[in-house]
Structure 1
Amino acid sequence: MKILFVCLGNICRSPSAEGVFRHALERAGMQHEVSVDSCGIGPWHVGKGPDARAREAALRRGIDIGTLRARQLAPVDFDEFDYLLAMDHDNLSALQAQQPAGSKARVELFLNYADTAEKAVPDPYYGGEQGFETVLDLIEEASEGFIAHLQRGDK
C-alpha cells in the first residue's frame, strides 16, 4: 500500500501528515506494510525542507520531519500511489483535475478519515504557532482513522 499526502507547497501540512502518519504506522506495527510520501501541487518550494514552525511543532510531539524535502506532484504519482490524500478542497480539486483517465488511485480528502466536522486541514503558513498545533491535532486524528480503515481492509 502506498499513500501520498498532498498540500499546496509541501512545506507545512503534507510533510507534517507524512511524519505523523509514519509515526502512527510504527505504533500500529504497520510500518513495513505501507509506504508514505508527500508532495505539493505547485513548484514553489521544491527541494526545501519543511517550514521551521512545522518542524518545531512536530518535534514537540516526538516526530522529526526535518529530513523531508518538498517535491511537486508528478503524473506518475497517480500510477505509483494507491491513495492521494488532499489536505483541503482546493488540493482535492487540483488532484481531480490532474488525475488521468483510467487511474485507479483513490483521491480523497484526508480528513474524511477523522471524526470531525472539519474536512479541510487549514493552511497554517500565514498564522501563528497555534495553527501548526491545530494542523497536527487534525492530522493525528485522521491518521488514526485511516489506519483503522486500512486494518479493516476497507476499499
Structure 2
Amino acid sequence: MIQVLFVCLGNICRSPMAEAVFRHKVKEAGLERDIVVDSVGTGDWHEGETPHQGTCELLREKDIDFSGIVARKIEKRDVENADYVVAMDADNMRSIRSLADEANDTKITKLMDFVPRNKIEDVPDPYFTGNFDEVYNMVDEGCDQLLAHIREQSSI
C-alpha cells in the first residue's frame, strides 16, 4: 500500500482538507486498496480536535466525507512509514525535515510542487486568512496532480 501523509501547522485546516479531498479522489478512482491517506500537524495545539469549522463547512458543501479525521502531531514514525510526505508550506517542510533522516528526506515535498507552471509555492493557512475557498481550490488541483503522479510512478 502507498501511504500519503499531508502535513500543515495545526492539522485542523489545510492537511485535513487535503486528506479528505485526496481520500475522495482515491475512492472515485477505485484505488482504496492501493493508497492510504492520513494527515498530521507540526504543532500539538489542536490535538484530538476535529477539523476547523470552515474546513468542515466547505467539505460538506462539496459532499466530501471527512469522518474520522482528528488532529494529531507528527511523529518521526509518520515520516518513516509514509511514501509521500506532503507539506502545505515551506515552514512545514522545515519542521518535517527536522524529524527525517537523510534517506527519508527525498520523499518530503510541498503539495504545490505537483502543480505544473504554478507560481504559488505555499498553500496559505485559512486559520489566519479565512479564505477556505482559495485553499480548497489549491488543494483540489494539487491532489489531482499528486494522484496522477502516484498512478504514473506506481503503474496503478
With the length of structure 1 as denominator, give the TM-score of the two structures.
0.92
Off by >2 Å, runs of 4+ in structure 1: 100-105
Tell me which amino acid in the other structure corresponds to 1:118: I
**Whole-Å separation in 2 of the counterparts to 1:104 and 1:21:** 22
Partner of 2:93: 92
**Whole-Å separation in 2 of the counterparts to 1:114 and 1:139:** 10
Question: Aligned-pair distance for 1:102?
Answer: 3.5
Question: Aligned-pair distance for 1:117?
Answer: 1.6
Contact 1:55 1:66 in 2 (8 A): no
1:134 equivalenced with 2:134 (yes/no): yes
**Whole-Å separation in 1 of the counterparts to 2:33 and 2:127:** 32
More moved, 2-11 vs 59-68: 59-68
Partner of 2:57: 56
Question: Aligned-pair distance for 1:105?
Answer: 6.1
1:129-152 C-alpha deviation (Å, 9 max, x unpaired): xx1011110011011101111111
**Whole-Å separation in 1 of the counterparts to 2:63 and 2:100:** 35
Query: Cα RMSD over matched residues?
Result: 1.5
Question: Aligned-pair distance for 1:7?
Answer: 0.2
More moved, 29-38 vs 8-17: 29-38
User: How many pairs are equivalent?
Assistant: 152
1:153 equivalenced with 2:156 (yes/no): no
Tell me which amino acid in the other structure corresponds to 2:16: P
**Whole-Å separation in 2 of the counterparts to 1:85 and 1:75:** 14
Tell me which amino acid in the other structure corresponds to 1:120: D
Contact 1:55 1:64 in 2 (8 A): no
Question: Aligned-pair distance for 1:126?
Answer: 2.3
Question: Aligned-pair distance for 1:28?
Answer: 1.6
**Whole-Å separation in 2 of the counterparts to 1:35 and 1:79:** 15
Contact 1:111 1:120 in 2 (8 A): yes
CA separation of 1:12/1:41 partners in 2, compared to 1, >3 Å: closer, same or farther?
Answer: same
Q: Unpaired segments of 5 or more residues in structure 2?
A: none
Q: Which has the higher helix share?
A: 2
Q: Unpaired segments of 5 or more residues in structure 1?
A: none
Question: Aligned-pair distance for 1:58?
Answer: 1.1
